[in-house]
Structure formats: structure tokens, C-alpha cells
Structure 1
């Protein structure tokens, strides 16, 4: 196994581990997005966990640790469309304040958009010149 630096992710074993973490996050999001929309409702487990997973992926990508494993930006855009449609249809039942609803929607949009931007950036980095 190769080592190229002293950082926690600077060897082949760590890179393999990180690839597994990223693959698990992406697979879980993809599976939930393809499943029953009830799981995405704002007060359901996956309705809360999905944005967390997306933000973790964003942080990894910003750190240069995504290993080229992020989904295509068009996939992320479809996830955003699906997630926000469910969120929008269910959030009012929870009776949030107007301010919370507006603030939360900004955060959700930003989370999806930042992941899509990171994925697009990685695609551009890998594009043949």
C-alpha cells in the first residue's frame, strides 16, 4: 500500500476506507430518493438524515476527499426536486413559524446546490483537456 503524506487520508488504506464511506452515503441517499416519499417527510428519519448526509458529502468534497464518487449534478438536481416537493407538501402540518420555514428552506436549497456545485467542479477537473 502506498503512502503519500502524513495526513489521516494520505495512504491507500485510508483512501479505500473513505471511498466506502462516500459510497455508503451516496447509496443510502439514492435508495431513499427512489423509495417511498413518506420516508422523506420533514419529521421522518430520512427527511432529517438526508440533508445531513448531503452536507457531509459537501464537506468531504470541499476537502478534496470525494474521490470522484459524487453523483452527477443532474442526479443531485433530481434529488433536490423530489426532496423539496415532499418537504413542501408536509412542512405546514408541523406548524412551523414562517421564519423557521423560510430559514430552513434556504438551508435545504443551499445544501443541495453546494453538493451539485462540488460535483460539477469535480467533473470539470476530470474532463479531458
Structure 2
């Protein structure tokens, strides 16, 4: 029963591997959200990496593969509130143009929203 198709993700082992990978992405975001808010500032590592992790999770959520580990939508919404509060408090110190600031915030909002919607649809 371990293999059900010819695709790269059509086996129990592949599903296990995908579970490990996706759980790592989720754990990193959860740890960043629970850590020092300074680490989520717009120019800090987790301030950049968190949206990257969410984007990859969005891509995974849209696939028909077994093994993808995702948080619940309520968790993503709480992450969004935490992340955007830190981003809003830190972005002006980087002196972005008003246009860039508005565009980047819109992208960040959509990233969190897309993941929450994908989780609800699953």
C-alpha cells in the first residue's frame, strides 16, 4: 500500500517527508511569533522569512498531496495580527516610500489571508 501512483509525492515515504518539511515551516513561524518581537521587524531575518514560509505553505496547501501539515486558520489569523503589528511599528524606521510601504503591506496581508483561506478550503 506504500505507493499509489507514479508521482514524486505518491507514496507513504513521500508523504512522511512532506509532513516533516511542512511541519518545520509551521514550527519556524510559530517560534518566531512566540519569540522576541524585535526578530519580526521588517528588516530582521524572521521579518522576511515568516512571509516566505507562509508563501511556501500556501503553495503546498494547494496541492493534492498527502502529508502536508498546516496550522488552523485561526492560528494564521493570530499570526497575521502579531506580525503586522510589529511590521507597522518598525517599517517607518526604514524610510520606505509611501508607495512601497502600502504595496508591501498589501502583499503581507494577502499572504496571511491566502493561507487561511486555503486551510479553510481543505
TM > 0.5: yes
The answer as to whether partners of 1:29 and 1:53 remain within 8 angstroms in 2 is yes
TM-score calculated relative to the size of structure 2: 0.95
1:70-89 counterparts in 2 under 5 A?
70-89=70-89
TM-score calculated relative to the size of structure 1: 0.90
List, as ranges, runs of 4+ consecutive aligned residues in structure 1 with deviation greater than 2 Å.
64-69
| Structure 2 gaps, min length 5 | none
Equivalent pairs counted in the alignment come to 122
CA distance in 1, matches of 2:27, 2:47: 16
Quote how far apart the aligned CAs of 1:30 are.
Answer: 0.4
Q: CA RMSD, aligned part only?
A: 1.2
2:29 paired residue number? 29
| Structure 1 gaps, min length 5 | 123-129
Quote how far apart the aligned CAs of 1:96 are.
Answer: 0.4
CA distance in 1, matches of 2:119, 2:90: 29
Distance change in 2, residues 1:56/1:68 (3 Å):
closer
